[in-house]
Structures are given as structure tokens and as C-alpha cells.
Amino acid sequence: MTGDPLPSWNEGPVKQAILDFVARVTAEDGPDFVPPTERIATFDNDGTLWCEYPLQIQVFFAQQRLHELAAADPSMRQRQPYKAFLEHDVATIHAMGKEAVFDIAFTTHAGMSTEAFADLVADWFAHAKHPQLGRRFVECTFLPQRELLDYLRANGFRTFIVSGGGIDFMRAITEQAYGIPPEQVVGSSVKLRFELQDGRGMLVKTAELGSFDDREVKPANIGLHIGRRPIFVFGNSDGDLAMLRYALTGDGPRLGLLLHHDDAEREFAYDREFHLSPLAEALDKANAYGITLVSMKDAWRTVFAPPSA
């Protein structure tokens, strides 16, 4: 790769740490060489690869579905937790906690086939916009991270998403957004049911949560779905701390990065007070745990790519 592979990153210690790490693990005659088969990089998605504030993108998507369900059952508008979602009551939603919120988001599409769900997600992403940023949700991905993913892949890394977001929701968009195919996405899931519909085998989403891919479940699901300990990890919250520590406590060269949303001018500034995805322990103990803190304000020259026409 010629030229600057990370043009949206400011020159400084974080960018240099990434470049130095990749150079070390790819130098075949060096002491830190890592074979391509072991070059596993895992990224959280919400808040790490795209915007998650004031609500994760999938929650906005679920709100639309709840409005459709409430049209058929108006009593939902008076019942919690649906009332909070339907009224876009962010404070109440935050108070519910991440797992409870995502449980609702995951189960609103019960009874739908995974293929129909993927089509619905793609259609929604084609037009839905972030209410504060004013850009389409598909344009809320972070340009520096897209460059980083490309740079890692150009150097023999396999890039995976390991996120608390719904696996079917993410898989509908990750190849387009990041170049990460569906089989390299690990996320939260509902249990699926196999059915024959008009002679065609289909997988149907149920209302029963299968796995909530957050905190200590992340390294467990890495072992289950990837089968190799990552050497490069990027997260943004305490929900990613177990994944970061799993990577960093392995043998050989490793790099763990933690994005700090401290840029209220270009995106948002939040950490420990964001109850759906708090950054507290990981922020306080980053140095002790060998985690490289990435200030959005200082490390990134650009946050988002210019909106498409």
C-alpha cells in the first residue's frame, strides 16, 4: 500500500501505534511476525464503527416496527416498555438498560423470515436518517474506521464484527458499509425456527433471545464463532472490556484500542453517563490494562465521509 493508508487519522501516537503494530506483525524476518491465519481483528460496531448516540441505530429501526404493531394494537401506546419507544422517550429508554432495550428491538420482528427481515433492513437504510445528525444512518459510519478496516485487510488481517447489536440486522448492511461479509459478523441473536414455506426451507425469527453478545459473552462467542484469539481489538465501552482483555492477555504482539466519544462538535461527547453503553471501568483502567485510548477529537481528522448525493 503506497501513500498514507489512514488519511482521516491525525498524525500522533495512536496512528503511529497502529502503523507500528501492523508493520511488526507483517515483517516476515522480524521477531513479532504473525502468520496471516492468526491475524484476527475484531471490532465492536455500535459506537465503534458507526454512531450509537442517543440510541443505537437498531433501536431507531425497532421504533418504526413498533409503530406498525401499535397501529394494529393501540393499547401498546399505553403500556411500558412500548410506550417509551413509541413516544421516543429517550430518558426512559436509557433507564431500561442495554439488554432490556435490545431484547425489545430483537423481538419486534418475531415470525418474520431472516430473508424478509434482511430486505426490510436494507429498505429502511436506504432512506432513514439520524434525527440529530441529519444524515442517513448508512452514512453514520466513521470514515477513519473504514480506512482502518481496509488497511488491516490489505495487510493480511481478517476483520470481524463482534457486537451487542442484532446479528441479522448488522449482516444486512456490513458488507456494503465496511466490506465485512455476513459470515464474519458475530452479534446478539434470537432463536431461529426452520420452516418449509411453499416447499422452500426458511429460517424464521422467534421472540426468544438466543445470545446477548455483550461483556463476557463477547469472548465466549469469539471462541464459538471464530475459534482464534484476536490480536487486534477495537471497542468503545465497558461492554467491550472483556473482549479487549481476552485479546491483550494472549501471547505475542497485541493491540487493543478504545474509542472515546469526546467530540461534541463533530459527533457527540459521552462516556460513563450513557447508560445504554457506558464507558467507565475501561476508561479508568485503560493504562493498567494496556489499552490504547483513542480520543475522537484528537485522533481523527474527519469523523464522517461527506454525505452522498
pLDDT in tens, 125-147: 999 999 999 999 999 999 999 99
- Tell me, what CATH number does 211's domain have? 3.40.50.1000
Strand spans (E) along 167-283: 185-197, 200-211, 232-235, 255-260
pLDDT for the residue 131: 95
- Range 168-197 average pLDDT: 97
161, 43 in Cβ contact below 8 A? Answer: yes
pLDDT at 1 over 60: no
**Grid cell locating 289:** 490494562
In a domain, 215, yes or no: yes
In a domain, 198, yes or no: yes
- Range 290-304 average pLDDT: 98
pLDDT for the residue 308: 66
Percent of the chain with pLDDT over 70: 99
Cα separation of 9 and 22, whole Å? Answer: 15
Confidence label for 103 from pLDDT (cuts 50, 70 and 90):
confident
The one-letter amino acid code at 181 reads P
Q: pLDDT by residue (tens digit) across 226-268? A: 999 999 999 999 999 999 999 999 999 999 999 999 999 999 9
In a domain, 80, yes or no: no
In a domain, 295, yes or no: yes
pLDDT at 309 over 60: no
Cα separation of 42 and 236, whole Å? Answer: 12
In a domain, 201, yes or no: yes
- Main-chain phi, psi angles of 67, to 5 degrees: -65, -40
Name the domain count of the chain: 1
In a domain, 194, yes or no: yes
Pairing mode, if any, of strands 185-197 and 158-166? parallel
In a domain, 216, yes or no: yes
The 8 Å CB, 24+ separation contacts for 60-67 are 60/128, 60/130, 60/131, 60/137, 61/105, 61/121, 61/124, 61/128, 61/169, 62/104, 62/105, 62/108, 63/88, 64/124, 64/128, 65/108, 65/109, 66/104, 66/108
Confidence label for 105 from pLDDT (cuts 50, 70 and 90):
confident
Q: pLDDT by residue (tens digit) across 23-67? A: 999 999 999 999 999 999 999 999 999 999 999 999 999 998 899
* Domain of 278, in residue numbers: 13-54+137-299
pLDDT for the residue 307: 78
In a domain, 7, yes or no: no
